[in-house]
């Protein structure tokens, strides 16, 4: 792929700025995470890149949990982490592909010939597929030209564009993904059993310590007994748009953009026909609720573990990213409003439902339904969306001006969380034959990146759900010719509106100069229109600007921008490789 040209505008920051505490903490965290990842990799991966565990198929300790042990590593590199982090990621993900292609089940029919086929799960739900491959999906932020990555994204996208005869996952006529469980061997179109979800029976008690309440195989059976109704589409599948988006970001081919919009539009229409509430169950014939008319049903439905509440907004967000059309934000705001309209007074208090079953709405709470409210505010920047987003606390409160000490508290908290993860790793006494793939997940230092995404980039903290980045700015190192902010430089996004973002940049080194490119958006989807710095205003009309920082220099920049003005791309802004 071709990189874009260098920005025409360059800012030269020379005014000394004493390094703020947040900047020093940010650079400390950026230095600590790679060191912790190095130790984690040495502890839990062998020389082939295989995870040192007992490989299993399943939703609790299966292939997705194994792949999650490299989650965050590509994103840390894209933030400015060292080359070594990317090397360790490549070693781990390539080993993972081989390990789980070789791994087989004896009794579970879905994986008897390998848990992966063509480097993708044979057939499993999009929740776990996206979680497992979150780190892989973000590789395009680090090295979008990598031929293996590009081939994978095109091949994975083809599984859902009706391009693979062996995997008929998508019905283009009805614009639906045909099952809750899909993959490289096609959709599951039968009632599932606990073995489909939990894998083969295995020795558990006395050997393994699962992360949840399960201690015996009978516990697994009990857990997965409700997991039966998988035929037809589910809003969880909206996260599949991230796969197709990555293919589009790499290639610019219109077919990928068209598919995302077509599929998102199908869900917009279904939500409208269902009274503004997104249905969790769509039959193979396209009927809402399937044959039984239970729009709230199916695995992960409104009456089960409604994981779509965190995934579906990002599907609509991907449609916004490539279209700039705010109606994709409107639909999720409408879902929130429609659910809260079902509130009723209970024991003298107005309470709001969270779920819907055969007997109607239930699981009432004094707190309004606000799943996705932060995302709606972030994408719309409308005043009406501010209050629901503020209920998320933390970063949302900071952006709303309610928590000025949040950057310092958040970074101190992440440093402490990293220390705790490393301590647990060092105290871990499991051996590969007594370790499940999920066992190291909570110790993966890559989990420490999300405060950095928030604070450095003004980005949504989507965590490991397989979502694309949604950020106001992003950095590239001019001197090293790569993604990420230069060594010694810290960044803080402290406010944003529909057409403006304020960013402080500071070079904490008293001896080294640095040069960077600041891009408008994660994928150059925004356009800078002006920059106000040190009392001067500079007119702009480009998606990126260059910034040079003298030793110990810094400034607060207020940047005017037009959001979603450009088609997003993985191409770097004139960085030599």
The per-residue pLDDT for 3 is 66
165 and 305 co-located in one domain? yes
Domain span including residue 179: 118-122+144-192+227-392
The per-residue pLDDT for 377 is 97
380 and 270 co-located in one domain? yes
277 and 387 co-located in one domain? yes
96, part of any domain:
no
379 and 484 co-located in one domain? no
497 and 350 co-located in one domain? no
490, part of any domain:
yes
248 and 371 co-located in one domain? yes
236, part of any domain:
yes
49, part of any domain:
no
178, part of any domain:
yes
477 and 370 co-located in one domain? no
Residues with Cβ < 8 Å from 183, sequence gap 6 or more?
Answer: 117, 120, 121, 122, 123, 124, 129, 159, 167, 169
Residues with Cβ < 8 Å from 249, sequence gap 6 or more?
Answer: 140, 144, 523, 568, 569, 570
Mode of pairing for the β-strands spanning 355-357 and 360-362: antiparallel
Length of the chain in terms of residues written:
577
388 and 480 co-located in one domain? no
The per-residue pLDDT for 575 is 66
End residue of a domain, out of 350, 371, 392: 392
The per-residue pLDDT for 1 is 56
13, part of any domain:
no
260 and 361 co-located in one domain? yes
374 and 236 co-located in one domain? yes
Q: What ranges in 324-405 are assigned the alpha helix state H?
A: 327-340, 373-380, 386-390, 394-399
End residue of a domain, out of 354, 369, 392: 392
481 and 376 co-located in one domain? no
Mode of pairing for the β-strands spanning 349-351 and 355-357: unpaired
pLDDT tens-place values along the chain, 577 residues long: 556 788 888 899 999 999 999 999 999 999 999 999 999 999 999 999 999 999 999 999 999 999 999 999 999 999 999 999 999 999 999 999 999 999 999 999 999 999 999 999 999 999 999 999 999 999 999 999 999 999 999 999 999 999 999 999 999 999 999 999 999 999 999 999 999 999 999 998 889 988 888 888 889 889 999 999 999 999 999 999 999 999 999 999 999 999 999 999 999 999 999 999 999 999 999 999 987 899 999 999 999 888 899 999 999 999 999 999 999 999 999 999 999 999 999 999 999 999 999 999 999 999 999 999 999 999 999 999 999 998 887 999 999 888 999 999 999 999 999 999 999 999 999 999 999 999 999 999 999 999 999 999 999 998 899 999 999 999 999 999 999 999 999 999 999 999 999 999 999 999 999 999 999 999 999 999 999 999 999 999 999 999 999 999 999 999 999 999 999 999 999 765 5
388, part of any domain:
yes
- Measuring CA to CA, how many Å separate 252 from each of 154, 258, 498, 567? 12, 11, 26, 9
Tokens 């599907």 sit at which residue? 315
74, part of any domain:
no
532 vs 418: CA distance, rounded Å: 37
Query: Residue 227: what are its φ and ψ, rounded to 5°?
Result: -80, 85
The per-residue pLDDT for 462 is 87
Cβ atoms within 10 Å, residue 384: 10
Two tokens at 41? 């990799």
The total number of structural domains in the chain stands at 2
End residue of a domain, out of 360, 392, 424: 392
């Amino acid at each position: 792929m071709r990189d874009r040209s260098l920005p025409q505008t360059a800012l030269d920051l020379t005014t000394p700025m004493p390094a703020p505490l947040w900047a020093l903490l940010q650079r400390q965290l950026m230095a600590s995470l790679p060191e912790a990842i190095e130790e984690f990799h040495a502890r839990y991966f062998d020389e082939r890149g295989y995870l040192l565990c007992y490989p299993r198929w399943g939703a609790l300790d299966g292939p997705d949990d194994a792949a999650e042990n490299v989650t965050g590593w590509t994103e840390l590199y894209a933030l400015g982490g060292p080359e070594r982090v990317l090397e360790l990621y490549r070693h781990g993900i390539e080993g993972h592909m081989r390990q789980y292609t070789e791994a087989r089940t004896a009794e579970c029919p879905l994986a008897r010939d390998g848990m992966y086929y063509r480097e993708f799960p044979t057939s499993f739900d999009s929740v776990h597929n996206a979680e497992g491959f979150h780190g892989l999906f973000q590789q395009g932020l680090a090295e979008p030209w990598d031929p293996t990555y590009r081939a994978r994204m095109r091949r994975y996208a083809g599984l859902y564009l009706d391009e693979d005869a062996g995997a008929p996952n998508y019905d283009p006529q009805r614009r639906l993904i045909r099952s809750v469980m899909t993959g490289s061997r096609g959709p599951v179109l039968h009632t599932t059993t606990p073995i489909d979800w939990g894998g083969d029976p295995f020795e558990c008690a006395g050997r393994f310590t699962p992360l949840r309440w399960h201690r015996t195989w009978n516990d697994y059976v009990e857990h997965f007994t409700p997991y039966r109704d998988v035929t037809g589409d589910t809003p969880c599948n909206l996260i599949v748009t991230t796969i197709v988006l990555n293919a589009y970001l790499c290639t610019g081919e219109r077919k990928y953009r068209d598919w995302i919009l077509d599929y998102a539009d199908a869900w917009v229409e279904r939500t409208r026909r269902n009274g503004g509430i997104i249905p969790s169950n769509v039959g193979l014939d396209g009927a809402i609720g399937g044959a039984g008319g239970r729009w709230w049903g199916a695995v992960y439905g409104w009456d089960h573990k409604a994981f779509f509440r965190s995934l579906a907004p990002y599907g609509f967000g991907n449609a916004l990213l490539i279209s700039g059309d705010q109606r994709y934000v409107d639909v999720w705001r409408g879902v929130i409003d429609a659910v809260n309209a079902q509130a009723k007074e209970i024991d003298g208090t107005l309470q709001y439902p969270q779920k819907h079953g055969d007997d109607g709405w239930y699981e009432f709470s004094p707190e309004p339904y606000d799943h996705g409210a932060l995302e709606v505010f972030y994408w719309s920047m409308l005043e009406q969306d501010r209050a629901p987003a503020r209920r998320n606390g933390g970063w949302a409160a900071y952006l709303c001006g309610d928590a000025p000490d949040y950057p310092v508290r958040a970074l101190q908290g992440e440093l402490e969380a990293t220390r705790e993860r490393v301590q647990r790793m060092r105290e871990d006494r499991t051996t590969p034959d007594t370790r499940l793939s999920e066992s190291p997940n909570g110790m993966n230092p890559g989990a420490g990146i999300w405060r950095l995404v928030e604070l450095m980039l003004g980005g949504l903290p989507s965590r490991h759900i397989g979502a694309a980045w949604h950020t106001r700015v992003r950095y590239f190192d001019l001197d090293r010719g790569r993604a990420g902010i230069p060594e010694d430089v810290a960044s803080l996004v402290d406010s944003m509106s529909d057409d403006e973002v304020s960013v402080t940049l500071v070079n904490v080194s008293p001896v080294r100069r640095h040069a960077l490119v600041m891009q408008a958006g994660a994928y150059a989807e925004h356009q800078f229109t002006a920059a106000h710095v040190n009392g001067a205003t500079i007119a702009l009309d480009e998606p990126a600007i260059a910034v040079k920082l003298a030793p110990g220099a810094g400034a607060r920049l207020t940047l005017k921008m037009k959001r979603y003005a450009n088609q997003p791309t993985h191409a770097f802004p004139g960085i030599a490789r």
